[in-house]
Structure 1
Amino acid sequence: MDNKLEQRSFYLLLVSVTVLFLWLLKPFFGAVFWACTIALLFYPLHRRLLARWGDRPNLVALVSLTACVFIGVVPVLFVVGSFFQEGVNLYQRLESGELDPDAWIDRIRQTFPMIQNVLEGLGVDITNLREQLAGGAITASRFIAQNAVQVGQGTARFLFHLSLMLYLAFFMLRDGPRLVEKLMQALPLDDERERLLFDKFAEVTRATVKGNLVVAAVQGTLGGLIFWALGITGAFLWGVVMTLLSLIPVVGAGLIWLPVAIYLLATGEWLDGLILIVYGAGVIGLVDNILRPILVGRDTKLPDYIVLLSTLGGFVLFGMNGFVIGPLVAAMFVTFWDIFVREFQ
């Protein structure tokens, strides 16, 4: 009786301390999560360097981390800075009246009355919709402009989280295998299942991050280039927005280029509008249909609809981190049920 009570008390304390520790880490969830992700992404490079300089683990981890900074961090900082600068310019042009969203919507309504008929048939008031869209454009650009100021004012906080992420990534690279072995010893599963789960975790994380980021970068770049070639205002800004939206499978970049193409047709620029539609569907859309299944679906071994649903759910629950966490949770779900069906019938 005493032994059972002592054991249960220990388990209760163990769970309580673990939950408390995780709660303490909650403010730094993003830094910890991306440190682990960086370690998984760059571990193949780290392992090759270890084969040469195995007696200098600190130097190897530092070299791997330096490669991460130049390949991933520096380009992202440049793009984010340029994005906010373009957003500030757009907000200023909207405030001055140089750009008028009301006029754009009126032109679309006059050129394509069928769109108005369809919306009215669905019970949508076109006047209210126009006001909401116009207000939304100003609000979105104001949000970007205000956050640009906040980013400038919160530079110290941003640099702290960035430094913390890189600091943790260094130790994840250097001590990752030992940490995994310790975790495997602690988990109450047999070694075969644990290795299967850890391998799946690493495989899905690498595939999701590399695949989605490659697809998003390609689609955003292609979208920005066609906007620039057609002389559309804020081509770089819209390219970055398409990059972010491209993290959402199937519909991502089309949320930007399709309304712009409709506007071009409505304003009489038929050639530019048709070029954008053909290019968007045939080139930008083709990238999503070809590259994403190859880079994401094949390695995660998840159906496209599961990838879509888990990505959307991840965005809703975890924000930008969700494009990795969502498919990862889905893959773990499928893996656990595969183990259950195979071993427990």
Structure 2
Amino acid sequence: MYEKLETRTFLALLVGVSLAFVLLMKPFFGPIFWAVAIALIFHPVQQWLLRRIGDRPNTVALLTLTLCMVIVVIPVIVLITSLVAEGVSLYQQIQDGELRPGEYIDKVTQSFPAIQSLLDQFDIDLSGLRERAVNAFVGGSQFLAKQALGVGQNTFQFFLSLALMVYLAFFLLRDGHKLVELLIKALPLGDARERLLFAKFAEVTRATVKGNLLIAIIQGALGGFIFWVLGIKGALLWGVVMAIVSLLPAVGAAIVWVPAAVYLFAVGDWVQATVLTAFGVVVIGLADNILRPIFVGRDTKLPDYIVLLSTLGGIVMFGINGFVMGPLVAALFMAFWGIFIREFGEHDTTLGLGPRDLPDDDSSAT
């Protein structure tokens, strides 16, 4: 009896201390998460260097991290800095009256009276819609301006988070496999289940980060390129905005280039509008429709509609990190239920589920 009380007391304290540790780490969730993502994504590079250099873990981890900084971290910082600078310039032009978003909307409605008729059928107030669109445009540029001020005021915090991410990534690259084995020993789920879940975590994180970021870069570059070719102001800014919104499946860069094409049609620039529309539908649109299922859906082994819903839900719940966290939660949800059905459920039921329909447990986490 006394031994059971000791065990229960110890487990209660273990849970309490673990929760306290999680709360202690909560302010550093972002750097920790992206350090884990870097370690998972660059794990194949680390293994390749190990085969070439030999068993020198510190050197290999340092070289891998340096490569990550050159390929990913530094370009992203430069791109964000350019985006903020463009946003500040755009906001200043609006404040000085050089840009009047309301006039653009008025030109579109004047050129296409059918829009007014269509809105009237649904009892939609065009003036209210115009005001909300203008406020959204001004608010977006104002947000970027505030971010620029915030970055300037919180430079120390930004570089502290960056340094913490890089520092953690080094140790995760060097000792990540040891930490995984330690967690497998500590968690009371069964080694086979734990290896399956860790493998799924690594697989989905790699797929969503690499796939979504690659698609975002491609769509943003294509969108910025066509805006630059057509002489549309702020091509860099709109290219980066298209890259960001392309993280949203089924919406993507169209939320930027479609209004631009409509405006060009409204002001009579038919050639530019036609070129932008054709390029957006054929090139930018197909880049999303073809590449996303290949890079994200195939590697995560999730249906396209689950990828869409989990990405949107993840962004709502976790912010920008949600484009990874959402599909990750969905994949782990399906993995857990797959294990449950295989081990505790009945096979060949009315749903037609059998062992071959469920996740394999012979994967190993990296």
Give the TM interval when normalised to the shorter protein.
Answer: over 0.9
Q: How does 1:25-36 map to 2 (within 5 A)?
A: 25-36=25-36
Counterpart in the other structure of 2:40 = 40
Mean Cα displacement is larger for which, 275-284 or 232-241?
A: 275-284
Task: Specify the alignment match of 2:295 in structure 1.
Answer: 295
1:309 aligns with 2:344: no
Please identify, of 46-55 and 165-174, the stretch whose mean Cα deviation from structure 2 is larger: 46-55
Residue type of the partner of 1:133? A
Count of aligned residue pairs for this structure pair: 345
Aligned residue type for 1:111: S
In the TM superposition, residue 124 of structure 1 has moved relative to its aligned partner by: 2.1
Of 295-304 and 333-342, deviating more is 333-342
CA distance in 1, matches of 2:119, 2:241: 26
Structure 2 Cα separation of the partners of residues 93 and 250 of structure 1: 32
Stretch moving more, 234-243 or 275-284: 275-284
Distance 2:14 2:20 in 1: 10
Which position in structure 2 is the counterpart of 1:217? 217
Corresponding residue SS for 2:42: helix
Measure the CA separation in 1 of the matches of 2:133 and 2:17: 49
CA distance, structure 1, for counterparts of residue 328 and residue 172 of structure 2:
19
In 1, distance between residues paired with 2:82 and 2:342?
A: 51
Match of 2:86 in 1: 86
Counterpart of 1:205 in structure 2 is 205
Distance 1:69 1:324 in 2: 20
TM-score by length of 2: 0.92
> Deviations along 1:109-162, whole A, 9 cap, x unmatched?
111122222223333211111122222222211221121122122111100000
Q: CA RMSD in A?
A: 1.1
Matched, 1:142 2:120: no
Gaps of 5+ in 2: 346-366
Q: Does 1:57 align with 2:54?
A: no
Structure 1 residue 337 displacement after superposition: 1.2
Q: Does 1:332 align with 2:326?
A: no
CA shift digits 1:225-263 (9 cap, x unpaired): 111111111010000000000011111111100111111
Name the one with the larger helix percent: 1
Amino acid at match of 1:297: G
CA displacement at 1:17 relative to structure 2: 0.4
Partner residue, 1:263: 263
- Residue number in structure 2 paired with 1:95: 95
C-alpha distance in structure 2 between counterparts of 1:119 and 1:331, whole Å: 41
**Cα distance, 1:265 vs. partner?**
0.7
User: Which amino acid counterpart does residue 325 of structure 1 have in structure 2?
Assistant: M
Matching residue of 1:9: 9
Match in the other structure for 1:285: 285
The percent identity for this pair of structures is 59
1:143-222 equivalences under 5 Å are 143-222=143-222
- Which whole-Å CA distance do the structure 2 matches of 1:170 and 1:74 have between them? 16
The one-letter code matched in structure 1 to 2:189 is L
Secondary structure, counterpart of 1:232 in structure 2: coil
Shift of 1:89: 1.0
Residue type at the aligned position of 1:7: T
CA distance in 2, matches of 1:302, 1:113: 44
TM-score, normalisation: structure 1: 0.98
Rounded to whole Å, the distance in 1 between the matches of 2:249 and 2:229 is: 26
SS at match of 1:50: helix
What is the CA-CA distance between 1:190 and the residue it aligns to? 2.1
Moved more, 310-319 or 274-283: 274-283
Q: 1-side partners of 2:66 and 2:136: how far apart?
A: 41
- Tell me the distance in 2 between the aligned counterparts of 1:54 and 1:192: 30
What displacement does 1:341 show? 1.4
Please give the alpha-carbon distance, in whole angstroms, between the structure 2 residues aligned to 1:175 and 1:123: 62
Q: Secondary structure at the match of 2:189?
A: coil
Give secondary structure in 1 for the equivalent of 2:123: coil
Report the alpha carbon displacement of residue 33 of structure 1 after superposing the two structures with TM. 0.3
> 2:212 is matched by which residue type in structure 1?
N
For structure 1, which runs of at least 5 residues remain unmatched after alignment? none
Counterpart of 1:272, as a letter, is: Q
**Structure 1 partner of 2:71:** 71
Aligned counterparts of 2:120 and 2:19: Cα–Cα separation in 1: 52
Q: 1 CA distance for matches of 2:323 and 2:132?
A: 28
Q: C-alpha separation between the residues in 2 aligned to 1:326 and 1:224?
A: 28
- Name whichever of 262-271 and 166-175 sits farther off: 262-271
CA distance in 2, matches of 1:120, 1:217: 39
Greater Cα offset, 283-292 or 183-192: 183-192
**What is the CA distance between 1:293 and its match in structure 2?**
0.6
2:308 partner letter: L
Offset at residue 88 of structure 1 (A): 1.0
